[in-house]
């Protein structure tokens, strides 16, 4: 049964790899370099030997009209020069064919080896038996042209791995660690979990960890894309690959080797560049059958001319070999992998990590997109704007008790309330008993014998707390876009704290651009209806879902899918995980964490929502290149096979010798690879 074009033997050594297996290594910088060097070396040796072969061949003699002197019979000399081309420079095709047939797969190596060996063995037969015009130049030039085509393809694809190589280079070769009370210098690979790593100004962070001593400023731009250095104090996390700028600090290694964020990013890019788009799977199946068609066409051409038309064996074999060679579906096999490699490479360069080729292709199909409000459209760092209290309650007491109760929560609103209490010099360290976090609603705690409930209006209703004493103030805060945390003490409403989260600078531009691309844009939030409406109106969003609990967000994504829409969900990759999983394309924004990398199909390493637009444009441009390449590869084979088979020879005099067929086949591959590289022109459109 025909399989895909690409060899499946990347684990074998180089001599056991078919030439198409080389592309499996293209995203590994060191292996890619070795593969390209090997292909280049094979090409130059093959070319060096092919020049005299062509000059001594019957074709060369007819073109240049002179005979070169030779110490041996011409066919013997051609045999000596061609044999190392076939069995050394072209050995990757022969060994590739062996392993392909052994695993019952048909790929391009089978076709090339068939063409080369047919021309070579027939020529050998003539040399050692009856003599006559041989095909040595066809075998030699076929190998030479194919090697050149794949060397050029490797060169073009190597450029797409620049971003990946830059990520590899972020890890310093050595680092200073404290062991046994002494500071020693070791390689980064020798660092183990629990090691204390010393950072001095200018040092690169070798692994992920947590600051244990000192304070410093770290540039994380190459990892997160954020240009502003981040201050790190005791307890702060550091990411491998970032750069220490000012202070001296020590951190405990928490993740090393393949567990680091940087290693996960590199793995993601490698996986994406080696994965297959849905369109490529169709092309692979078509190409597998095209191998059968090519061999069948070659046999048909041979018997049609030799038996049907009664031409000589040499002429019939010429048509057959030319047909097999030009029918090689090489370009079809390269059509989408080259575009995927370039597209994912561009994405990585702009901190847009696309997990696989299917995601890169399917993103272009999106018709709707749902964006979480907090942390996606807003900065995710809300601040207290106002504290209102019921008559008879003290402003500071309400804020202090609320802060103490919120201390056990990691919600951004809780952090804002704690920060406000700190600004007012209030003690938020009251002894808390029976703390309970009520997901999506708020908290409940007992402090100094008092039952404190802080959270949403719905939470107050569930606890039968009358809000009428401050209802006007609550409505006023909501109407101005504030999120509120209502505070109740011993079953009585005591006050409300208004919290506002600043919109990201590019949020409005992002919504406008998404709508201009034809997408329906919806916002989803756990906030009150009035807050959601205020933010939506400001951003120009027509559809929003308010007061949605984290676990219910997936239901709203499915609601859009049930309407027939192809939906993307954009969230922070933590509490939005169910919705990200439900969506057709999950986009995790503001990454830098392994959680986000695990949950999103696309990970936007920066916290800039406009990167969503960039990812969409990149996907659309990549799909255009895929379609262009597939069209060229398919139409090329459809038009070329009849000409090579001699269908038009009697009527128009059109024919192709095997070496010309090899040249045209290689040219097709180069055109496809070059067209994919032109995708780089989309970079100018990723930002406005």
pLDDT in tens, 42-66: 999 999 999 999 888 877 777 777 7
Of 156-165, 538-547, 584-593, 636-645, which range is least confident? 156-165
138-166 tens-digit pLDDT: 888 888 877 876 776 676 555 545 555 65
First to last CA, the chain: 49
Q: Any idea which residues carry the catalytic annotation?
A: 372
pLDDT of residue 688: 42
Residue 624 confidence (pLDDT) above 70: yes
Q: What does the radius of gyration of the chain's CA atoms come to, in whole angstroms?
A: 34
Sign of the torsion formed by the C-alpha atoms of 665, 670, 675 and 679 = positive
Break the chain down into helix, strand, coil percent, rounded to 5.
55, 15, 25
Contact residues for 37 (Cβ-Cβ < 8 A; gap 6+): none
What domains lie within the chain, and their CATH numbers? 14-162+275-343+624-680 (no CATH), 172-260 (2.70.150.10), 352-379+503-605 (3.40.50.1000), 383-500 (3.40.1110.10)
pLDDT of residue 21: 42
Q: How far apart are CA 296 and CA 635, in angstroms?
A: 19
Q: How far apart are CA 596 and CA 590, in angstroms?
A: 8
Contact predicate 640/327, CB 8 Å: yes
205-238 tens-digit pLDDT: 999 999 999 988 888 766 655 556 778 889 888 8
pTM of the predicted structure, to 2 decimals: 0.66
What mean pLDDT is predicted for residues 1-30?
38
173-182 tens-digit pLDDT: 899 999 988 9
Tell me the C-alpha to C-alpha distance, in Å, between residue 15 and each of 46, 109, 153.
16, 13, 20
420-457 tens-digit pLDDT: 888 888 876 777 888 888 867 888 999 888 899 999 88
- Strands lying side by side in the sheet with 383-389: 383-389, 492-500, 483-489, 450-455, 442-447, 432-438
178-204 tens-digit pLDDT: 998 899 999 988 999 999 999 998 898
């Amino acid at each position: 049964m025909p399989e895909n074009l690409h060899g499946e033997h990347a684990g074998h050594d180089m001599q056991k790899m078919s030439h198409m297996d080389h592309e499996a290594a293209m995203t590994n910088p060191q292996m890619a370099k070795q593969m390209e060097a090997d292909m280049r070396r094979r090409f130059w040796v093959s070319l060096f030997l092919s020049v005299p072969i062509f000059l001594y061949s019957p074709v060369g003699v007819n073109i240049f009209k002179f005979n070169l002197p030779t110490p041996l019979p011409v066919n013997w000399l051609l045999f000596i020069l061609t044999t190392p081309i076939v069995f050394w420079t072209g050995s990757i095709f022969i060994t590739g064919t062996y392993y392909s047939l052994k695993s019952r797969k048909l790929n391009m190596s089978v076709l090339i080896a068939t063409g080369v060996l047919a021309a070579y063995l027939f020529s050998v037969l003539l040399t050692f038996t009856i003599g006559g015009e041989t095909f040595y130049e066809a075998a030699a030039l076929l190998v030479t042209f194919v090697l050149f085509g794949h060397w050029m393809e490797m060169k073009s694809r190597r450029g797409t791995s620049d971003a990946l190589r830059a990520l590899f280079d972020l890890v310093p070769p050595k680092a200073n660690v404290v062991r046994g009370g002494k500071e020693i210098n070791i390689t980064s690979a020798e660092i183990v979990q629990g090691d204390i790593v010393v950072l001095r100004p200018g040092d690169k962070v070798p692994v992920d960890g947590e600051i244990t001593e000192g304070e410093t400023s770290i540039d994380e731009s190459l990892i997160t894309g954020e240009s502003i250095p981040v201050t790190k104090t005791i307890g702060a996390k550091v990411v491998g690959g970032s750069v220490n700028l000012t202070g001296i600090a020590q951190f405990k290694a928490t993740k090393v080797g393949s567990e680091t964020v940087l290693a996960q990013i590199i793995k993601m890019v490698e996986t994406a560049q080696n994965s297959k788009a849905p369109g490529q799977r169709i092309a692979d199946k078509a190409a597998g059958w095209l191998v059968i068609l090519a061999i069948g066409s070659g046999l048909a051409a041979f018997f049609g001319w030799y038996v049907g038309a009664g031409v000589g064996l040499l002429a019939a074999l010429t048509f057959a070999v030319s047909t097999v060679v030009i029918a090689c579906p090489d370009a079809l096999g390269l059509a989408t992998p080259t575009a995927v490699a370039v597209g994912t490479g561009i994405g990585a360069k702009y901190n847009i990590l696309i997990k696989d080729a299917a995601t890169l292709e399917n993103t272009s199909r999106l018709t709707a997109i749902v964006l979480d409000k907090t942390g996606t459209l807003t900065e995710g760092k809300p601040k207290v704007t106002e504290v209102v209290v019921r008559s008879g309650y003290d402003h500071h007491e309400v804020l202090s008790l609320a802060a103490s109760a919120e201390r056990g929560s990691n919600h951004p609103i809780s952090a804002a309330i704690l920060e406000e209490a700190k600004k007012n010099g209030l003690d938020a360290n009251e002894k808390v008993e029976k703390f309970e976090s009520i997901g999506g609603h708020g908290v409940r705690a007992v402090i100094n014998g008092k039952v404190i409930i802080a959270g949403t209006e719905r939470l107050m209703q569930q606890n039968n707390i009358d809000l009428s004493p401050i209802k006007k103030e609550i409505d006023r805060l909501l109407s101005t876009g504030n999120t509120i945390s209502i505070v109740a003490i011993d079953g009585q409403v005591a006050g409300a704290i208004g919290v506002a989260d600043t919109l990201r600078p590019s949020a409005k531009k992002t919504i406008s651009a998404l709508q201009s691309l034809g997408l329906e844009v919806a916002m989803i939030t756990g906030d009150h209806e009035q807050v959601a409406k205020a933010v939506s109106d400001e951003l120009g969003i027509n559809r929003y879902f308010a007061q949605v609990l984290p676990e219910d967000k997936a239901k709203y994504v499915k609601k859009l899918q049930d309407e027939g829409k192809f939906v993307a969900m954009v969230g922070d990759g933590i509490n939005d995980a169910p919705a990200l999983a439900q969506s057709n394309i999950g986009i995790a924004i503001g990454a830098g964490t392994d959680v986000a990398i695990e949950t999103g199909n696309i990970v936007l390493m920066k916290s800039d929502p406009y990167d969503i637009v960039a990812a969409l444009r990149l996907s659309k441009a990549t799909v255009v290149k895929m379609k262009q390449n597939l069209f060229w590869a398919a139409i090329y084979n459809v038009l070329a096979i009849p000409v090579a088979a001699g269908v038009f020879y009697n009527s128009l005099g059109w024919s192709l010798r095997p070496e010309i067929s090899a040249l045209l086949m290689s040219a097709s591959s180069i055109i496809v690879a070059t067209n994919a590289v032109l995708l780089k022109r989309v970079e100018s459109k990723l930002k406005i």
